[in-house]
């Protein structure tokens, strides 16, 4: 419910200071005042809104909801600049980008501290303390000063996890620029609706969507960072004074007038520019001269949609998803302990509580297993370490997921399961929580659009591997025959390979092509030599 100002307003300025949400603003283009509908909440706690009480001329009135569709011709064309293939887009993935994402997902959960100026800051050491990133919070996206500690913490409490998606969209736009630290980009509310899947949300009014988009953009643009970076390889050490991670240069409002003469907000646009960090971490030209970095990875669009739909029910899963996006960029060994995943998903304080307060671990364990299942449903399949994370302490859904769909195969599965010392239906051991803290996940099988996030081997290595492997691959039938020859069950082979049983099943059925590394591993474990 919002209010609006009639034409008879004499600009006496009585209502503006009375508004508790600073929604009444001086019109920059014409005389008089206007009410920002993304800020006005109609004063729900008052019988008569504060502005109505303050106006002697009765110039404020309730704005009825807009009827019918908005005229998109009144808005700038929203031609997508990213996700042009519909699936993925490169995004800036340097440490500054990760820590900003971390700040937006963990908010008050991070170890904020007071600095020498008495301001709240979050410090991230670089290279064992040789350098650091220092983040602080500005009171609004255009402010240069930072907030006092108590206000900073209160403001962080109002931030939303979904702002991390806006941050990733900005990171993807920054990669489309040749010199992102001095070239701005413009995003309209229609862009955000497309990228974030809001266009399909029938439960939100147009104004609610616009208010949400503006809030998320403004939260993302409030972080300021100072950088002290040590020498790394040929790149000399450097310091950058505090600057906005994302500079909000302009916000435009688009209105449409209805037959009764009421102006309704139908769109927004934002002009944003990457901060000075991009000179050092997203600088193509100087990267070629080896005097700066150019760090990027691949952002799957599905991650944004998943985060936008799961953030309320599975906040921990979304935090893990975003962490994995940056972690997997590094490729190589992806082993991770459950303790680490718990800290990422729920913060240190919650993990400490679960390990020290009697009974608290049960709630956390249940949440963790549910969040892991949410990742599984999205397509990130955890591969449990058979030594530290054996079947008996795995989540029940993971054990059930191993049951084949095919009736005959399912019968074999249950027959084999009954012969195991730990069957599927055996209840979890009493020391499950203690064992789980030291359990490891070897890696995650990735959805197709995530495959590109892994660092690709060099061209020469790919060529050599392809030459070695050409004509020498095991088919699904070969693998099944070799496995049966060795009297190995699918589960036993999966454990030896560090894969899931469903992976073996799919490979044997020829549902997907096995990559070169896994081919080599299969040949080694099954002791099969190909000519
Ligand atoms: S209704 Fe309340 S929130 Fe809206 S403009 Fe008036 S005083 Fe501000
Ligand atoms: S109090 Fe009434 S007349 Fe004065 S600025 Fe506000 S709306 Fe206009």
Domain boundaries, position 430 = 321-448
DSSP 3-state percent helix, strand, coil across the chain (nearest 5): 45, 20, 40
Cβ atoms of residues 396 and 360 within 8 Å: no
Lowest mean pLDDT among 119-133, 293-307, 335-349, 410-424: 410-424
What CATH number is attached to the domain comprising 507?
1.10.260.40
For residue 169, give the nearest of 246, 116, 109, 257 by alpha carbon: 246
**Torsion angle of alpha carbons 310, 313, 314, 315, nearest 10°?**
90
User: Is 68 within a domain?
Assistant: no
Contact 297, 93 (CB under 8 A): yes
Ligand 1 center–CA 149 separation, angstroms = 28
* Mutate-to-test residue for ligand 1 from 35, 37, 46, 59, highest number of ligand atoms within 8 A of CB: 35
Instruction: Look at residues 164, 184, 336 and name the one whose alpha carbon lies nearest to residue 249.
Output: 184
pLDDT at 531: 44
Burial 117-145 (b: 16+ CB within 10 A, else e): eebbbbbbebeeeebebbbbbbeebeeee
Among 312, 335, 364, residue at a domain's last position: 312
Dist CA 320 CA 341 (whole Å): 7
Counted domains in the chain: 4
Q: Looking at the structure, tell me whether residues 123 and 265 fall in a common domain.
A: yes
531 belongs to a structural domain: no
CA of residue 31 to ligand 2 center, whole Å: 12
User: Does residue 77 form part of some domain?
Assistant: no
CA angle centred on 223, ends 220 and 229, rounded to 5°: 125
Same domain, 305 and 378: no
Instruction: Indicate if 92 and 179 belong to the same structural domain.
Output: yes
Measuring from each residue's beta carbon to the nearest atom of ligand 1, which residues come in under 6 Å? 3, 19, 21, 23-24, 35, 40-43, 49-51
Do the beta carbons of residue 246 and residue 274 sit within 8 Å?
A: yes
40 CA from centroid of ligand 1 (Å): 5
CA-54 nearest atom, ligand 2: 1
Together in a domain, 467 and 521: yes
Given a contact cutoff of 8 angstroms between Cβ atoms, the answer to whether 54 and 43 are in contact is no
Pocket test for ligand 1, best of 1, 38, 41 (most atoms within 8 A of CB): 41
Domain-terminating residue out of 312, 334, 358: 312
Which residues line the pocket of ligand 2, CB cutoff 6 A? 5, 9-15, 33, 54-55, 57, 59-60
- Given a cut of 80, whether residue 392 has pLDDT beyond it is yes
End-of-domain residue from the set 281, 312, 343: 312
Is there a domain that residue 442 lies in? yes
77-81, 184-188, 323-327, 469-473: range with lowest mean pLDDT: 469-473
DSSP helix/strand/coil, 179: coil
Burial of 415 (0-12, 13-18, 19+ CB in 10 A): exposed
Q: Both 127 and 265 in a single domain?
A: yes
Say how many Å lie between the CA of residue 21 and the centre of ligand 1.
Answer: 7
Residues 426-433: contacts with CB under 8 Å, at least 24 apart: 426/392, 428/392, 428/393, 429/392, 429/393, 432/365, 432/392, 432/393, 433/354, 433/361, 433/362, 433/365
Q: Which of 228-237, 399-408, 510-519 tops mean pLDDT?
A: 228-237
pLDDT of residue 257: 86
305 and 325 in a single domain? The answer is no
Average pLDDT over every residue of 117-131: 93
Q: How far does the centroid of ligand 1 lie from the alpha carbon of residue 64, in Å?
A: 15
Ligand nearest to the CA of 63: 1
Half-sphere exposure of residue 421, counting CA atoms within 13 Å on the CB side? 2
Phi-psi region of 68 (alpha: psi -120 to 50; beta: other; left: phi over 0): left
Percent of the chain whose pLDDT exceeds 70: 92
pLDDT of the residue at 270: 96
28 and 121 assigned to the same domain: no
Does the pLDDT at position 463 exceed 60?
A: no
ipTM of the complex: 0.98
Q: Tell me the C-alpha to C-alpha distance, in Å, between residue 311 and each of 29, 162, 167.
A: 39, 7, 15
Q: Please identify, by atom number, the ligand 1 atom nearest to the C-alpha of residue 24.
A: 5
Residue pointed to by tokens 């700040």: 103
Q: Are residues 208 and 300 in the same domain?
A: yes
Is-contact 515 469, C-beta < 8 A? no
**Buried/exposed 466-494: b ≥16 CB within 10 Å, e otherwise:** eeebeeeebebebbbebbeeeebbbbbbb
Q: How is residue 378 written in tokens?
A: 């999205």
If you average pLDDT over residues 304-319, what whole number do you get? 94
216 and 352 co-located in one domain:
no
Rounded Cα distance, 283 and 240, in Å? 15
Angle between helices 501-508 and 476-485 (to 10 degrees): 120
Reading the block at residue 100, the tokens are 């900003």
Rounded CA-CA distance 384/498 in Å is 7
Asked if residue 149 has pLDDT above 90, the reply is no
Residue 57 Cα to ligand 2 middle (Å): 7
Calculate the average pLDDT of the chain: 87
pLDDT digits (tens, 9 = 90+) for 343-364: 999 999 999 999 898 888 999 9
> Distance from the CA of 24 to the center of ligand 1, in angstroms?
7
Pocket test for ligand 2, best of 8, 22, 33 (most atoms within 8 A of CB): 33
Q: Give the 3-state secondary structure of residue 170.
A: helix
Which pairs from 294-298 meet CB under 8 Å and 24+ separation? 295/92, 295/93, 295/94, 296/90, 296/91, 296/92, 296/93, 296/175, 297/90, 297/91, 297/93, 297/325, 297/326, 297/329, 297/453, 298/88, 298/89, 298/90, 298/91, 298/450, 298/452, 298/453
pLDDT-derived band at 235, boundaries 50, 70, 90: very high
Q: Whose CA is nearest to atom 3 of ligand 1?
A: 40
Q: Pseudo-torsion of CA 418, 424, 427, 430, nearest 10°?
A: 100
By alpha-carbon position, which residue is closest to atom 4 of ligand 1?
40
| Substitution site in 37, 40, 44 for ligand 1 pocket (most atoms within 8 Å of beta carbon) | 40
- Give the residue carrying structure tokens 């909000």: 248
Main-chain dihedrals φ then ψ at residue 473, nearest 5 degrees: -120, 150
Report whether 411 contacts 405 (CB < 8 A). Answer: no
Query: Is the distance from CB of 222 to CB of 166 less than 8 angstroms?
Result: no
Give φ, ψ of 506 to 5 degrees: -65, -40
Q: How far is CA 140 from CA 427, 434, 511, in A?
A: 53, 45, 52
**22 in a domain, yes or no?**
yes
CATH (domain of 28):
3.30.70.20
Q: Are residues 45 and 148 in the same domain?
A: no
Q: Please indicate, yes or no, if residue 36 is contained in any of the structural domains.
A: yes
Task: Taking residues 236-256, report their average pLDDT.
Answer: 95
Mean pLDDT (whole number) for 123-133: 95
Span 169-177, mean pLDDT?
Answer: 97
What distance in angstroms lies between residue 6's CA and the mean position of ligand 2's atoms? 9
pLDDT at 103: 96
Q: Does 431 lie in the same domain as 302?
A: no
Ligand 1: distance of its center to the CA of 19 in Å? Answer: 5
For residue 417, report the distance from its CA to the centre of ligand 2, in Å: 77
Query: Are 294 and 408 members of one domain?
Result: no
> Residue 293 and residue 314: Cα distance in Å, rounded?
34
Let me know if residue 74 belongs to a domain.
no
Return the ligand number nearest the Cα of 36.
Answer: 1
Residue 79 lies in a domain: no
């Amino acid at each position: 419910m919002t209010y609006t100002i009639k034409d008879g307003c004499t600009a006496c300025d009585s209502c503006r200071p009375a508004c508790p949400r600073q929604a009444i603003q001086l019109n920059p283009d014409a005389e008089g005042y206007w009410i920002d509908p993304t800020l006005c909440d109609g004063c729900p706690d008052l019988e008569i809104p504060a502005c109505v009480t303050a106006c002697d001329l009765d110039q404020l009135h309730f704005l009825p909801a807009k009827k019918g569709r908005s005229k998109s011709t009144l808005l700038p064309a929203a031609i997508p600049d990213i996700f042009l293939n519909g699936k993925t887009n490169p995004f800036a993935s340097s440490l500054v980008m990760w820590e900003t994402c971390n700040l937006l997902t963990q908010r008050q959960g991070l170890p904020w501290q007071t600095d020498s100026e008495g301001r709240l800051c979050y410090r991230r050491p670089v290279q064992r303390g040789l350098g650091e990133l220092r983040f602080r919070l500005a009171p609004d996206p255009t402010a240069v000063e930072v907030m006092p500690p108590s206000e900073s913490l209160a403001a962080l409490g109002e931030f939303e996890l979904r702002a991390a998606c806006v941050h990733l969209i900005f990171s993807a736009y920054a990669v489309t620029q040749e010199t992102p630290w001095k070239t701005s980009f413009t995003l309209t509310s229609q862009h955000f609706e497309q990228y974030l899947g809001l266009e399909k949300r029938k439960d939100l009014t147009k104004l609610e969507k616009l208010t949400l988009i503006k809030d998320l953009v403004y939260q993302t643009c409030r972080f300021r960072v100072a950088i002290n970076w040590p020498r790394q390889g040929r790149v000399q050490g450097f310091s950058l004074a505090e600057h906005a991670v994302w500079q909000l240069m302009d916000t435009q409002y688009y209105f449409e007038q209805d037959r009764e003469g009421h102006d309704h907000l139908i769109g927004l646009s934002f002009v944003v520019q990457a901060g000075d960090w991009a000179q050092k971490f997203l600088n193509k030209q100087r990267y070629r001269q080896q005097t700066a970095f150019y760090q990027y990875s691949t952002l799957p669009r599905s991650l944004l949609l998943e985060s936008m739909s799961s953030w309320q029910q599975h906040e921990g899963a979304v935090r893990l998803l975003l962490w994995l996006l940056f972690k997997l960029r590094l490729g190589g060994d992806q082993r991770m302990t459950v303790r680490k995943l718990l800290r990422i998903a729920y913060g240190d304080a919650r993990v400490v509580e679960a390990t020290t307060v009697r009974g608290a671990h049960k709630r956390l364990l249940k949440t963790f297993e549910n969040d892991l299942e949410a990742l599984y449903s999205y397509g990130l399949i955890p591969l449990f370490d058979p030594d530290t994370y054996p079947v008996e302490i795995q989540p029940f859904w993971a054990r059930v997921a191993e049951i084949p769909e095919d009736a005959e195969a399912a019968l074999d599965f249950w027959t084999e399961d009954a012969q195991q010392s730990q069957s599927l239906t055996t209840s979890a051991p009493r020391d499950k929580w203690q064992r789980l803290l030291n359990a490891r996940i070897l890696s995650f099988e990735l959805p197709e659009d995530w495959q590109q996030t892994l660092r690709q081997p060099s061209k020469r290595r790919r060529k050599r591997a392809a030459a070695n492997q050409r004509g020498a691959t095991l088919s699904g039938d070969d693998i099944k025959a070799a496995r049966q020859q060795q009297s190995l069950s699918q589960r036993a082979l999966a454990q030896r390979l560090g894969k899931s049983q469903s992976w073996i099943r799919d490979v044997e059925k020829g549902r997907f092509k096995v990559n070169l590394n896994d081919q080599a591993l299969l040949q080694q474990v099954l002791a099969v030599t190909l000519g």
